[in-house]
Chain A
């Protein structure tokens, strides 16, 4: 069984009187340690798919199992707990907490987990070093570049050793060089820590880095292929 199992996922949004079928029956199985890109044009349903895999949104029908946890049988609170301990998120807009420093942003997840301060601090510093932000611990998001902010977001996503990291268009707001650097870091984390990365993207660079490419179109998987390493 894969770390992520999605069976016949359907999701329809209602925008006023208009129905938008975001997902029309998606089946996916992703194994532990994979580096996967879910690609497709705008409106193909990739972000919706990622949100559903992360328990941020619920499907209208179908079942989702992440790290052997079936979302159908979980309460909101249990889903939050699963996200806290087993799922990391990297957002397109970074979504760091502006009043906290880089170190505190990374520590925050561990704070919610109830880890002691000394351990939090040591792990946060270590992971920030890993993503190339040594010496920038005390900088607030506003004092960091877009690429640096996204690295903090990556550090926050992987610091608590999640089973999967879901990255929604992580390079969309970055220039190609910064984006490339960020993808290298995530690739290293994937290899070093065996964290499963799942991206939603329409950036060719992300698709090039991914070892597996899943193509979505109009809410359906139209292609799913492993790439030559």
Chain B
């Protein structure tokens, strides 16, 4: 904004706006500080003055036009807004959540949730194929062994159980290593964050910060591990059943 108006610290700037009497209200202010925002649009959009000066310029006396509240937990926004609507007279006060005031950002976030869902779906499908592939390879490599075990009297269900147990152990080791690596990487990046300065324009467009600070939510960890385990065991049923279905003669003839 300073560039646009070709001004700098210490100089005066005249602000004009419609006052409470629908007249043009204006006042000269001396620039005492400048701020840097993540988005250039924010810098162009806002000039901060004292509440008293704004009330004088807009002829508001002691009144205010808007009060913004930041709630520590974003999931509480709707509930707090509802409580405020109930507590305040509707003829005097309007209560709006940020989602109502910023429909574009709201729509963008909904879209982003869908993208995330699709991304998870693709990742988990790929993981499922990976597990099936690994387990099938392990089964086919040991077809003769399974044939021998069946010939010696191992029941088909025991073979299914054995293959599923192997998959379970694979999943335990995989998730343990995955969790440790993710905890370490989040821990390493949580201090300095992930700097997206090189993608600043894109980040601005998406409305996200230039620096992302990764964080771990226990619920996400539990959900991800649970999905991996259940999906992993489910897709392992196919190779397990395959191993159990070979007749001993077919399996022993396998080279």
Contact = CB atoms under 8 A, between A and B. Distances in A.
Interface of A: 51, 54, 56-58, 76-77, 80-85, 87, 89, 91, 95, 97, 108-109, 112-113, 156
Contact of A57 (B152, B155, B249): B249
Contacts of A97: 145, 148
Nearest to B247: A57
Most chain A beta carbons < 10 A, residue from B148, B150, B151, B157: B151
Contact of B252 (A76, A80, A91, A156): A91
A112 B156 contact: no
Interface of B: 144-145, 148, 150-158, 247-249, 252
Nearest to B158: A112
- Majority secondary structure of chain A interface residues (helix, strand, loop or mixed): helix
Contact of A56 (B144, B145, B151, B156): B151
16 contacts: A51-B249, A56-B249, A56-B252, A58-B247, A76-B155, A77-B155, A80-B153, A83-B151, A83-B153, A84-B152, A87-B153, A95-B144, A108-B152, A109-B152, A113-B153, A156-B152
Contacts of B157: 77
Nearest to B156: A76
A80 B248 CA distance: 10
A94 B252 CA distance: 12
User: What are the nearest 9 A-B pairs in CB distance?
Assistant: A84-B153, A83-B153, A56-B248, A57-B249, A80-B155, A77-B155, A95-B148, A56-B249, A51-B249
A80 B159 CA distance: 12
B150 to A, nearest CB: 6
Most chain A beta carbons < 10 A, residue from B150, B156, B157, B248: B248
A16 B144 CA distance: 22
A109 B156 CA distance: 15
A81 B153 contact: yes
A112 B151 contact: no
Contacts of A77: 155-157
Given A57-B247, A89-B152, 17 more contacts: A54-B151, A56-B151, A56-B249, A76-B156, A80-B153, A80-B154, A83-B151, A83-B152, A83-B153, A84-B152, A84-B153, A95-B144, A95-B151, A95-B252, A108-B152, A112-B153, A112-B158
Contacts of A81: 153, 155
A175 to B, nearest CB: 24
A85 B153 contact: yes
Contact of B156 (A80, A85, A87): A80
A85 B152 CA distance: 9
A197 B156 CA distance: 26
A88 to B, nearest CB: 9
Most chain B beta carbons < 10 A, residue from A76, A77, A80, A84: A80
A56 B247 contact: yes
Most chain B beta carbons < 10 A, residue from A89, A109, A113: A89
Nearest to A85: B153
Nearest to A168: B252
Nearest to B157: A77
Most chain A beta carbons < 10 A, residue from B154, B155, B156: B155
Nearest to A76: B156
Contacts of A51: 248-249
Contacts of A109: 152-153
A184 B143 CA distance: 33
A84 B156 CA distance: 13
B8 to A, nearest CB: 80
A108 B145 CA distance: 13
Nearest to A77: B155
A43 to B, nearest CB: 15
Contacts of B158: 112
Contacts of A91: 252
A112 B152 CA distance: 9
A83 B154 CA distance: 9
Contacts of B151: 54, 56, 83, 89, 95
